[in-house]
Amino acid sequence: MTPSALPPKKPSLGRNLRRALSITRTLLSVYYAYMVEYRAELMFWVLSGSLPLILLGVWTEAAQGGSFALSSADFARYFLIVFLTRQLTVVWVIWDVEKEVVQGKLSFRLLQPLDPVWHHFAGHAAERLARIPFIAVLIGLFFGLYPEALWMPSPTRLILFVIAVALAFCLRFLAQYTFAMFAFWIERAVAIERFWFLFYLFLSGMAAPLAMFPPAIAQIAMWTPFPYLIYFPVAVLLELDTPVAQGFGVMLLWLGLFGLVNRYLWRKGLQRYSGMGA
């Protein structure tokens, strides 16, 4: 009996859910194995995200000599959590998608009944798991060097932080994946990400807490996606002065907006795809 002769199975919620779980489990386990193959490189990738720790040194020194709203220990804590948030929200999907589109490697993914985005998403999620031991070592080292910065956040804030970081990762991933869709039109979509990164660097709170910005700029920035990629999760954990419910609401709005634009560009882009080289 040929497969086509089999009676078609009726799709059911239970079967779809089981399939989704099976795909998630398999993708995570295989991509985790893949990332572990690069364990040596992973250490360097973690260290390459140490800019917040360098800025930490600069700002804690400055705080000792100047009059800032945050104390030296506050700055140390702030940049440590910036470092952690950055580590947990690193995204490189645009480089992978650009290569797949330009070199035609997307073809194999398009032949399977699973949206290619899930391969990338699972790859990023699995990489986070592989990265955690290195991050834990660096954080332990940090508290060894700055024992005065050690504190215990409240369980509620910890839970909110985990949710905020997860959403920040999704937002950064979706934004970059949306820019990656331009690879169907231009050969170097990465240029868009580089331009975006300029704003990300200053408005995300990576270089300085938004509380240090002129109030008008900080207020405007809070309606852009940038502060939600770093500053907002950090502010949630450190209980800085920021509206939590509104912050989650704005994040969800940006996620929805990027989601809509992404799907539109994906459909239009596929019509232009020529599968060059494959």
Closest listed residue to residue 275, CA positions, set 20, 53, 103, 148: 103
66 or 113: CB nearest other proteins: 113
Task: Look at the block and give the residue holding tokens 């949206």.
Answer: 115
In the list 88, 96, 107, 157, the residue contacting other proteins (rule: CB under 8 A) is: 107
Residues 172-201 that bind other proteins (CB under 8 A): none
- If one asks whether residue 271 binds other proteins (CB under 8 A), the answer comes out as yes
What is the C-alpha to C-alpha distance for residues 185 and 173, in angstroms, rounded to an integer?
20
Residue 209: CB atoms within 10 A of its CB come to 23
- Only one of the segments 50-58, 111-119, 147-155, 165-173 lies at the binding site for other proteins (rule: CB under 8 A); that segment is 111-119
Buried b (16+ CB within 10 A) or exposed e, 39-74: eeebeebbeebeebbebbeebbeebeeeebebebbb
26 or 246: CB nearest other proteins: 26
153 or 269: CB nearest other proteins: 269
In the list 17, 44, 58, 108, the residue contacting other proteins (rule: CB under 8 A) is: 108
**Class of residue 85 by CB neighbours under 10 A (exposed 0-12, middle 13-18, buried 19+):** buried
User: In the complex, what is the shortest distance from the CB of residue 119 to other proteins, in angstroms, rounded to a whole number?
Assistant: 8
101 or 237: CB nearest other proteins: 101
- If one asks whether residue 221 binds other proteins (CB under 8 A), the answer comes out as no
Binding pattern to other proteins, positions 9-48, x when CB under 8 A? ------x---x--xx-xxx-xx--xx--x-----------
Closest listed residue to residue 193, CA positions, set 207, 210, 174, 165: 174
Hey, what are 92's tokens?
């490189």
- If one asks whether residue 278 binds other proteins (CB under 8 A), the answer comes out as yes
33 or 159: CB nearest other proteins: 33
Closest listed residue to residue 209, CA positions, set 222, 198, 225: 222
Q: Provide the binding-site residues for other proteins, judged by CB under 8 A.
A: 2-4, 8, 15, 19, 22-23, 25-27, 29-30, 33-34, 37, 107-108, 110-114, 270-271, 273-275, 278
